[in-house]
């Protein structure tokens, strides 16, 4: 009985081995087909996208320089005003009186100068004939000099009174659009008050202050040095809060000379034309700063770039022997629907963009070129 069982088991094992051999012989050797994209050097504009706030190119708070009652407000809130335009009229009566008094005192001082001058000259002649004492002559000359000094003193008083009288007309220090008035006729204002009467902002041209990390700024400067620049001016475009593009491009004016220690950021200032006053101070915008043109850029479709367990970017390429090769790459930024590759891929490489999940390094594959529309020519730094 045991002999029979051993024979049956041996027969089954032989039968199974025979079926497995037949199955392997009947399975053909197939080669996996993958879609590839042949990479080429191309020219691309590199840009950095930054957040920013609009600020007036010139801002001035209108404040009184003398005390008094506001008699008139001589502008319409929200209108354009010109530099030197009278905005408020303070009651000038007391300042006019002070000015008139100073003028009268100046006239009196001038009259005394004339009288004392004649007396000093007369005493100077008489002292030679012993008609008056030397002391009297000296006193007459000193009185004359004092009266001359008094004229200068009263002249300065007249000028001070005239300035204060002129300050009763509060004028616009700069041209621009004036905001809401904080006072009305009848209000008492003082030269030392902290509240501005109104604020004037020059809206054309206008600034956009952008913030960028100091680390990114260093990278940007190195990048600009290595890229082609058509002009020394750095173009800047902005998108408004509703996502629409502002139609008038600006230019980068300056970079702040210090880093904010609290945030580690640097402020960049761009200047924009603003004839229609579409940009208003305080408005939030997104700006694109053109870094330059990279003439030999390698752009890889995003579906061909993956991440390994360490988080590094990797790509699968087909080599000359139609075998899959795995590479680590450096993907700098997104440009449209592609990655800008700074290292790891070269012109002429066949990047696998379809079927990456079916293959692995070392496998032989059949590469089929994938046709796609290459429209990505501008980058936005992330």
Superfamily (CATH) of domain 48-57+202-293:
Efflux pump adaptor protein, beta barrel domain (2.40.30.170)
Residue 28 makes CB contacts below 8 A (sequence gap 6+) with: none
* Per-residue model confidence (pLDDT) at position 259: 78
CATH number of 32-45+295-369: 2.40.420.20
In this prediction, residues 12-39 reach a mean pLDDT of: 63
Q: Tell me the fold of 64-90+171-195.
A: OB fold (Dihydrolipoamide Acetyltransferase, E2P) (2.40.50)
**Residue whose structure tokens are 């081995």:** 17
**pLDDT at residue 261 tops 80:** no
> Could you please report the per-residue DSSP string of 15-63?
HHHHHHHHHHHHS----EEEEEEE--EEEEEEEEEEEEEEEEEEEEEE-
Q: How many Å apart are CA 255 and CA 136, to the nearest integer?
A: 73
In this prediction, residues 260-272 reach a mean pLDDT of: 84
Confidence of residue 27 (pLDDT cuts 50, 70, 90): very low
CATH number of 92-167: 1.10.287.470
Confidence of residue 224 (pLDDT cuts 50, 70, 90): low
Strands (E), the chain: 32-38, 41-62, 68-73, 80-81, 86-90, 169-171, 176-178, 188-189, 198-213, 235-239, 250-255, 265-272, 284-301, 305-307, 313-318, 324-328, 330-335, 338-343, 350-354, 365-369
Higher pLDDT, 268 or 261: 268
Domain ranges (residues) in the chain: 32-45+295-369, 48-57+202-293, 64-90+171-195, 92-167
Percent of the chain with pLDDT over 90: 34
**pLDDT at residue 372 tops 80:** no
Give 297-313 pLDDT, tens digit per residue. Answer: 888 898 888 888 888 89
Give 133-173 pLDDT, tens digit per residue. Answer: 888 878 888 888 888 888 899 999 999 999 999 999 999 99
In this prediction, residues 238-243 reach a mean pLDDT of: 89
* Per-residue model confidence (pLDDT) at position 119: 80
In this prediction, residues 64-89 reach a mean pLDDT of: 95
Confidence of residue 1 (pLDDT cuts 50, 70, 90): very low
Q: Please give the model's pTM, rounded to 2 decimal places.
A: 0.61
């Amino acid at each position: 009985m045991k002999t029979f069982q051993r024979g049956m088991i041996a027969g089954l094992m032989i039968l199974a081995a025979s079926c497995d051999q037949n199955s392997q012989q009947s399975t053909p050797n197939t080669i996996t087909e993958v879609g590839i994209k042949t990479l080429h050097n191309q020219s691309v504009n590199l840009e950095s996208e930054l957040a920013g706030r609009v600020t007036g190119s010139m801002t001035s708070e209108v404040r009184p320089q003398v005390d008094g009652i506001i008699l008139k407000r001589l502008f319409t809130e929200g209108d354009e005003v010109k530099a030197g335009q009278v905005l408020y009229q303070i009651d000038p009566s007391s300042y006019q009186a002070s000015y008139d008094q100073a003028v009268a005192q100046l006239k009196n001082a001038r009259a005394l100068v004339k009288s004392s001058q004649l007396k000093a000259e007369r005493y100077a002649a008489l002292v030679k004939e012993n008609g008056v004492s030397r002391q009297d002559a000296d006193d007459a000359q000193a009185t004359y000099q004092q009266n001359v000094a008094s004229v200068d003193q009263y002249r300065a008083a007249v000028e001070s009174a005239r300035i204060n009288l002129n300050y009763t007309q509060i004028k616009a220090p700069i041209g621009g659009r004036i905001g809401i008035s904080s006072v009305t006729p009848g209000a008492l204002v003082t030269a030392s008050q902290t509240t501005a009467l109104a604020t004037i902002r020059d809206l054309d041209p206008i600034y956009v202050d952008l913030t960028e990390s100091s680390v990114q700024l260093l990278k940007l400067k190195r990048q600009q040095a290595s890229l082609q620049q058509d002009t020394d001016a750095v173009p800047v475009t902005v998108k408004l809060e509703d996502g629409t593009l502002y139609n008038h491009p600006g230019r980068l004016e300056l970079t702040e000379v210090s880093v904010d220690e609290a945030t580690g950021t640097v402020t960049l200032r761009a200047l924009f034309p603003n004839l229609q006053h579409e940009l208003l101070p305080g408005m939030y915008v997104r700006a694109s700063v053109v870094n330059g043109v990279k003439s030999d850029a390698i752009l890889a479709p995003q579906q061909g770039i993956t991440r390994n367990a360490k988080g590094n970017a990797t790509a699968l390429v087909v080599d000359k022997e139609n075998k899959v090769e795995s590479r680590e790459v450096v993907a700098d930024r997104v440009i449209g629907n592609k990655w800008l590759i700074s290292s790891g891929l070269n012109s002429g490489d066949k990047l696998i963009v379809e079927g990456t999940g079916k293959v692995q390094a070392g496998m032989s594959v059949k590469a089929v070129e994938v046709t796609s529309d290459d429209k990505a020519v501008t980058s936005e730094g992330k």
